[in-house]
Structure 1
Amino acid sequence: MTSPPRRLPGEGTAHTVEQSAGELARLAMARMDETLGWYRELSAAQRSQVGLVAQAGISQFVEWLRQRERHAPSAISIFANAPQELTRAVSLRHTLDLVRTVVDVVEARATSLAGPGDEQLVLESVLRFSREIAFAAAEVYAGAAEARGAWDARLEALVVDAVLRGEADDSMQSRAAALGWDDVAGVTFVVGRAPLAASSPDAPAATVDSLRRAARHLGVEALAIVQRDRLIAIVGGTRDPLPVVEHVADRFGPGPVVVGPTVPHLFAAGRSARAALSGLTAAVAWPGAPRVVESDELLPERALAGDLPARRRLLDRAHRPLTESAQSSQSPLLETATAYFEHGGSLEASARALFVHPNTVRYRLARITDVTGYDLTRPRDAWAVRVAVTLGRLGGTGATPGPAVGLSDAGQPAPVGRRGLEESSNL
């Protein structure tokens, strides 16, 4: 059923409103300057753009007042002269403040503008028009937010890909700045399997949005992409990322979520990425790995898989302190560790092999913990030190493990390639 035409005000009223459009716009601008703090903080150019929007709105109202259509004209034309950047400087809430201010000004002048008997009609027209404009403004801002979201997702994918490739160049710097990451400190690379549902077309965007929201709820920043079967996140703004990753771990698919070392800023995140990706590859060798695991906890597996930086780090952490103790006047810690391994972790058997008292072995084990950070009475720590000792001895013979599967000869992740980038950014 067609709605009846809208009742129009008298010609005198419409003419008076039309003649007063400029004055109404001037009064509205003065009222905004008087009552809206955010408006006073805008630059001169932005204030001018807001003024154009207000004038366009009043002009559209005058035009609509003469027409019989019940619905107000599209507000797209009202915002047409305003640049896209204005939606960043002026929020939707501010735009509604603008609409409310103009309505208040017109309402205050309704009696003097309307002819006899048209006062209520003018008031109703103002309220109906302002309602339509408010809904249209929400639509404009929703469209702007959607466009920004798509662009940000593309920038995000490019930044993460640059981190994966170790390309901390000017283009990465500008993209990071556009995302607000140019001054974020305490950056950590995190990787795990993507959720099984992420194979559907819309799932990657929903997955990364959920991860970002959860991270921001904890007060940290997060970049995230789904790349083939991996969910990659870069967490920033914290030096202690483990609680954050544990909180968002349910966004990842099955298997371990590997946390790389924290680096000072995004442009050094390549080191964190290499460690985390190497850890994800090597984690299959540790069936009992915790759900959230630091890449350094996977040093033995990474070293055996051919990750040369992991091999060097494990040797520096576990093998070198033991060999240095053997060359100094300190206790022969390397000899003690070897005996402890070869005798199944038995204090008494190790003591007999070393011709010392069991308490001496106990003391030396404590010293090993002090200098390496590994407690040989714990099976996992003993395994790490045993791998380090073995690799250290192999290093003395010139033997070098080959590169790990998925790593380049330099022990770095192989580049993802154009196809991987397209898949990761197709959100």
Structure 2
Amino acid sequence: MATKAHLARAERLQGATGALATAAMAAMDAKLPWFGTLSAQDRSWIGLVAQSGISAFVEWFRDPEAHSSMPTRIFGSAPREFTRVISLHQTVDLVRTTIETIENTIGTLLPPDDVPIVHEAMQRYAREVAFAAATVYAQAAEMRGAWDARLEALLVDSVIRGEADESVRSRASALGWAGAVGTTDSVTTGGAEVAVVVGRAPAADAPQSGHGSSNVADMVRHAAREAGADALCAVQGDRLVLVLGGTSKPVEIVQKLARWFGPGPIVVGPVVKDLMSAVTSARAAVAGLRAVAAWPGAPRPVQADELLPERSLSGDGHARRQLATDVYGPLTVGDGVLLDTVSAYLDSGGSIEATARAMFIHANTVRYRLKRVADLTGYNPQHPRDGFTLRVALTLGRLLNPEPGSTVL
């Protein structure tokens, strides 16, 4: 129980709170350059917090045991937005300035016998206030983190669903996406290029999972940015979706991130010009993940365009049109001799000599034409995997465009 002398000391300290608060505000204005740049409303909130802190100190000084939680409540008078106005470092400066002002002022406001006792109590109280400030900012950071995670998940979902609009850019910018603004510099340097990556999410009990979807997204995003790319990440059920930006070589980035995905294939969509066009990459990546089971030997990661035959067979209309237009179409130009040659080569089981005999031409002519096919389409008929792609492309091209030389639909 407090003695009469201590209660009297507390009353004298109570009478000095107004002068202490005024002196603290004057010291902030004089010692902290950034304080004067705040708006009048923000300065008034800071003054209210300072006044609340000094009054709380008096109550705590009167009976520390009865008011042990008082230091943690002094920030309750400030709005939640207060943590966005000033940083934790600036809050520490405010607390330090207030304490120094009290220590320098109480000698003129209190009797000499009260000063050392109040000074010692202030040191203990300041430590509790420092912990309270750290708690306030930690809670604010946690709330912002949870909000950012929800915003990021909505943004990735918009990309996957093809609902990207101008709001996507502003939301991505709020999350720190460097290429969201689409400035000239970002375009010329490749900063706006985007690719969507889809794979399996890690199991909840996997060592790298972080025991939560938000933790997985945080770790993948951090690893991607260390590799030199922007990243947006979300876990959608058993699927991990990653939107990479600022790189024209997403496969190289994903190779560094593969350990954060769950077991199974990882499909990288084609690179598109910006976030607004990311639905094209997302559509290809999702279709690729659905079809990749048909190619057991697919690399990890695998590009969605490497899965065009499997995607077309699984019902992906975009892959069918791409094969018919970009692979079959160039072979129909002119007299169609390249189309006839590659068709005969595939029908002969990949034998150049058999193809030459079937077409009554020299074997070197067959080799030359096959090289032209590879140059035009990007697929070498003499490679088994490319030959399979060409076979599917020829089949689809003939179905969609029965007349060689006419425009592919």
| TM-score bucket of the superposed structures, by smaller chain | 0.7 to 0.9
DSSP 3-state at the match of 1:83:
coil
- Cα deviation, residue 190, structure 1: 1.5
Distance 1:9 1:144 in 2: 41
Matched, 1:355 2:360: yes
3-state SS of paired residue (2:220): helix
Could you tell me which of 305, 326, 331 is aligned with 1:322? Answer: 331
Q: Highest relative contact order (Cα 8 Å, sep 6+), 1 or 2? A: 1
> 1:250-329 maps to which residues of 2 (within 5 A)?
250-327=259-336
Contact 1:74/1:136, CA 8 A, preserved across alignment: no
Q: Which residue number in structure 2 is paired with residue 417 of structure 1?
A: none
Q: 1:169 to 1:377 in 2, by over 3 A?
A: same
Cα deviation, 1:8-67, whole Å, max 9, x if unaligned, reads: 985675455434434433443444444445545544433333333223222222332222
| AA matched with 2:347 | E
Sort the Cα spacing of 1:82 and 1:263 in 2 relative to 1 into closer, same or farther, 3 A.
farther
Query: Which of the residues 180, 189, 201 maps onto 1:194?
Result: 201
* Correspondence list, 1:338-377, <5 A: 338-377=343-382
Contact 1:24–1:105 (CA<8 Å) still a contact in 2?
yes
* 1:287 Cα offset (Å): 0.7
**Distance in 2 of aligned mates of 1:36 and 1:89:** 15
The CA distance in 2 between the partners of 1:116 and 1:27, in whole Å, is: 19
Separation of aligned partners in 2, 1:95 and 1:251: 37
Map of 1:60 onto structure 2? 56
SS in 2 for 1:18: helix
Give yes or no for contact 1:72–1:132 (8 Å, CA) kept in 2. Answer: no
In the alignment, residue 220 of structure 1 is paired with which amino acid? A
**Does 1:74 find its partner at 2:70?**
yes
Of 4, 24, 47 in structure 1, the residue corresponding to residue 20 of structure 2 is 24
Once the 2 structures are TM-superposed, how far is the Cα of residue 250 of structure 1 from its aligned partner?
A: 1.1
Counterpart residue number, 2:340: 335
State the 1:359 CA deviation: 3.0
Could you tell me which residue of structure 1 aligns to residue 42 of structure 2?
46
- Give the secondary structure class of the aligned counterpart of 2:197: strand
1:117-196 residue pairs with structure 2 within 5 A?
117-169=113-165, 175-176=171-172, 178-180=174-176, 183=181, 185-196=192-203
Indicate the SS of the match to 1:197. Answer: coil
Unpaired runs of at least 5, structure 1: 399-427
* Residue of structure 1 equivalent to 2:227: 218
**Counterpart-to-counterpart distance in 2, 1:134 and 1:316:** 67
Q: Pick closer, same or farther for the CA change 1:96–1:392 going to 2, 3 Å.
A: same
**Residues 233-254 of structure 1, C-alpha deviation per residue, up to 9 Å, x if partnerless?**
2223434322322222111111
Q: Return closer, same or farther for 1:378/1:116 CA change in 2, 3 Å cut-off.
A: same
Residue 93 (structure 1) aligns with: 89
Alignment length (residue pairs): 390
> Counterpart of 1:326 in 2: which secondary structure?
coil
| SS class of match (2:113) | coil
Aligned mates of 1:248, 1:35 — CA distance in 2? 48
Contact 2:6 2:62 in 1 (8 A): no
CA contact (8 A) 2:269 2:285 kept: yes
Bigger drift between 299-308 and 149-158 goes to: 149-158
- After TM superposition, give the deviation of residue 289 of structure 1 in Å: 0.9
Comparing 14-23 with 220-229, which one deviates more in the overlay? 14-23
- Calculate percent identity across the aligned residue pairs: 53
Structure 1 243/102 Cα, relative in aligned 2: closer, same or farther at 3 Å?
farther
The more displaced of 272-281 and 90-99 is: 90-99
CA distance in 1, matches of 2:347, 2:3: 99
- Alpha-carbon distance in structure 1 between the residues aligned to 2:276 and 2:3: 64
2 CA distance for matches of 1:221 and 1:9? 64
Alpha-carbon offset, residue 383 of structure 1:
1.9
What TM-score do you get using the length of structure 2 for normalisation? 0.83
1:173 shift after superposition:
6.2
Who is 1:410 aligned against?
A: none
Change (3 A) 1:337 1:81: same
One-letter identity of the residue aligned with 2:196: F
* Corresponding residue number in structure 2 for 1:419: none
* Map of 2:186 onto structure 1: none
Inter-partner Cα distance in structure 1 for 2:3 and 2:108: 20
Q: Which amino acid aligns with 1:51?
A: G
Partner-residue secondary structure (3-state), 2:311 = helix
1:393 is matched with 398
Is contact 2:325-2:397 (8 Å) kept?
A: no
Compute the RMSD of aligned alpha carbons.
3.1
1:102–1:220 distance in 2 versus 1, CA, 3 Å? farther
Q: Aligned partners of 1:371 and 1:281: how far apart in 2?
A: 29
| Residue 180 of structure 1: how far off its partner (Å) | 4.8
Q: How far off its partner does 1:281 sit?
A: 0.3
Counterpart AA for 2:304: S
- Tell me how far 1:279 sits from its aligned partner: 0.5
The TM-score, its normalising length taken from structure 1, stands at 0.80
Distance 1:89 1:326 in 2: 72
* Cα deviation code 1:169-223 (max 9, x no counterpart): 5775665565455537333222111112369995323322222222233343333
